[in-house]
Amino acid sequence: MVEGVGGTADGMTALGLDFVDEQVEASVTRVLTAVEAQLLSNVTSADPLVTEAARHLLDAGGKRFRPLLVALGAQFGDPDAPQVVPAAVVIELTHLATLYHDDVMDEAPVRRGTPSANLRWTNSVAILVGDFLFARAADIAADLGTEAVRLQARTFARLVHGQIAETVGPRDGVDPVAHYLEVIAEKTGSLIATSLRFGGMFGGAPAEYTEALAGYGETIGMAFQLSDDLLDIASESVQSGKTPGTDLREGVPTLPVLYALAADDGDAASVRLREILAQGPVTDDALHAEALGLLRESPAMKRASETVRSYTEEARARLAPLPDGAPRRALESLCDFMADRTG
């Protein structure tokens, strides 16, 4: 287990990775420790307010899932190559920037257990700090070369497209489930794919390994987000990082809800569930508890769980070109975890 990186050891445990080999674990730990130090130096500005606001989410912790994947991707080449750590910093700064913007879009009051930047300061400050972090990421990417800049820019474009698609919703004639899966691919899968691609590229892995890693990343990213959606319904605690049923209360149409709304089951439970969900945000406590209970026992929940498992199996298949060994088995363990965490 990686200790003392990205917040807490418990946070790393939540990722479900089995490093298998102590040398691989030690190598990943070295990368993440160096990433943490470089993150701190790269969010520092001549303006104390910018520094404080930019460090706000960094200091709140986080799993550092994406830098971890950069470090694992580099295991298929030279994990100690000098560009691996700055590549991971580019990825995490890009991710942090999206969180500032997401909180403004969602009007979120809390992020990582602390007041969000938009609540503590203003929406304008939060947006501008996100822009600052994107700029810092681009600056570091420039030192890594033209291809790094191109990949970071294209990933950023996908993130923006995903946010726009989520904001406007599915257009007429577009299947809401297909639309939702596309949003997740753009908003989550794209950056996780680039994380593993960067690891392979800057670790000097063969091109076929790097392509396999990127394909795995896109697919496991889908499973990662969808399993979080299921946990929001299935967990009896704050296992998902938020109060169970938060998405339901806020009217966020996650995959189980979309499956439930699209179903034509005629049994009383399914009909009642559709009646409640069709109203939008379920804010009444009694209705919320009823809907949560119905969702947990619904065919829609089972179907959503099967969808997660299908993505984990696809991700595992994407690893086929990679050599057997501890790094590949670590990535496979993530597939197992994502499939099992939501039943």
Contact 65, 227 (CB under 8 A): no
In a domain, 239, yes or no: no
pLDDT tens for each residue of the chain, 343 residues long: 333 344 434 444 456 677 778 888 899 999 999 999 999 888 887 788 878 877 777 777 677 899 999 999 999 999 999 999 999 999 999 998 888 777 676 665 666 557 666 666 677 887 888 888 999 999 999 999 999 999 999 999 999 999 899 888 999 889 999 999 999 999 999 999 999 999 999 999 999 999 999 999 999 999 999 998 898 888 765 444 457 788 888 888 899 999 999 988 888 999 999 999 988 888 889 999 999 999 999 999 999 999 999 999 999 999 999 999 999 999 999 999 888 876 5
Q: Is 109 in a helix, a strand, or coil?
A: coil
Lookup: tokens for 255: 């995959």
**Residue 336: inside a domain:** no
Domain carrying residue 29: 9-205
| pLDDT for position 14 | 53
CB 256, CB 307: distance < 8 Å: no
> What's the confidence (pLDDT) of residue 106?
64
d(CA 72, CA 196): 7
Confidence at residue 237, expressed as pLDDT on a 0 to 100 scale: 56
For 168-224, the DSSP string reads H-PPTT--HHHHHHHHHIIIIIHHHHHHHHHHHHHTT--HHHHHHHHHHHHHHHHHH
Q: Are 75 and 27 in contact (CB under 8 A)?
A: yes
Number of domains in the chain: 1
The one-letter amino acid at 267: D
Structure tokens at 109: 């009051």
Give the burial class of 47: count Cβ atoms within 10 A of its Cβ; 0-12 exposed, 13-18 middle, 19 or more buried. exposed
Does the residue 115 lie in any domain? Answer: yes
Residue 318 lies in a domain: no
Specify if 92 maps to a domain. yes
- Please report whether residue 314 resides in a domain: no
Per the domain annotation, does 1 fall within a domain? no
What gap in Å lies between CA 150 and CA 102, rounded to an integer?
Answer: 23
Task: Find out whether 299 and 285 touch, Cβ atoms under 8 Å.
Answer: no
Give the per-residue pLDDT at 205: 97
Q: For residues 197 and 219, what is the distance between their CA atoms, to the nearest angstrom?
A: 13
CATH number at residue 152: 1.10.600.10
The model's pTM: 0.88
Q: Is residue 68 a part of any domain in this protein?
A: yes
For residue 16, the model assigns a pLDDT of 63
Q: Which amino acid appears at position 136 of this protein?
A: R
Q: For 242-247, which contacts have Cβ atoms below 8 Å and span 24 or more sequence positions? A: 244/292, 245/282, 245/288, 245/291, 245/292
